Amino acid sequence: MNMNLLMLGLLELIVFSLTFNQGFWTCALMMFNITFAGVMAFNYAAPLANLLIGMYEPLYYMAEFMSLWVLFLIFFAISRAVTDKLSPVPVRVGGETGETILNYAFSVWVSCMFTIWVCFTLVVAPIAADGFQSMMSPGAVAHTAAFRFGGWYVAAPGKLGMGLLGRPISMTDYMNSRLDRSNELKTKKGVMDVP
C-alpha cells in the first residue's frame, strides 16, 4: 500500500474522530472555518513569503509553506472565535437516528475538506524526495485533491475578479511552478540554501 495514501487516510480518520460527536451544526461551521481560513491564507501567503524572503533570504524554499500554515492557523482561530460567539449553542435535529446520520455525514465532509487543504499546502512544501514527488505528480490522489481545492476556492473566484490582487490564477501553472521549485532541492545541499 502506498505510504502517502495511508498517511492521508490516517489524517482523515483523526479529523473524523475529533469531529463526529460535535454535531452537524458545529461540523458545518468547522467546514466554513476551514474553507475561509484556507482561502484567506492562500491570498496573503505569497506577499508574506516575499516579505520573509526579503528579510531573510535563506527562507526561499520554506517561506510560502510556513506562511500558508501560520496564516491558516490565524484565520482559522479568528473565524472559529467569531462562529463560536455567534452560535454558542449547538443546533440539534429531532430524532436520534437522523441526527446521528447528519453527524457522521458532516464529520466526513469536514475531514475531507481538511485533508484536501493539507494536500493543497503540500504543493508548496519544500520536499524533494522521490516518493513525495510521485505523490504530487499529476493523476495522483493528493495532486487531484489539491487541484480540486485550488480550483474551487482559488481559481474560480479569480475568474470572477476576486483572485490574488484581482488577477485570475491558473492552478496548473501555480502547482507546476511550486513542484518545480521543490525539485530544485535535489541539486541543493539543503532546504536553507538560496538558489
Mean pLDDT by 10 residues, the chain (195 residues): 77 88 86 91 88 88 91 96 89 76 89 90 81 77 84 76 66 81 68 47
pLDDT the model gives residue 51? 92
> What DSSP designation does 20 have?
T
pLDDT the model gives residue 100? 84
pLDDT the model gives residue 73? 97
Question: At how many degrees (to 10) do helices 96-122 and 63-86 cross?
Answer: 160
pLDDT the model gives residue 71? 96
pLDDT the model gives residue 111? 92
Q: How far is CA 166 from CA 72, 148, 155, in A?
A: 21, 21, 11
pLDDT the model gives residue 152? 81
CA separation for the pair 163, 181 (Å, rounded): 22
Residues with Cβ within 8 Å of residue 61, at least 6 apart in sequence: 126, 181, 182, 184, 185, 191, 192
Residue 69 corresponds to which cell in the numbers above? 500554515
Residues with Cβ within 8 Å of residue 30, at least 6 apart in sequence: 19, 22, 80, 110
Counting every residue written for the chain, the total comes to: 195
Rg (CA), the chain: 18
- Please name the helix (run of DSSP H) or strand (run of DSSP E) that holds residue 176, with its range, or none: helix 171-183
What is the DSSP annotation of 147-168?
HHHHIIIIIHHIIIIISGGG--
- Dihedral sign, CA of 46, 52, 55, 61? negative
- Dihedral sign, CA of 12, 13, 18, 24? positive
> What DSSP designation does 140 have?
S
Question: What pTM, to 2 d.p., does this model score?
Answer: 0.84
Residues with Cβ within 8 Å of residue 35, at least 6 apart in sequence: 113, 153
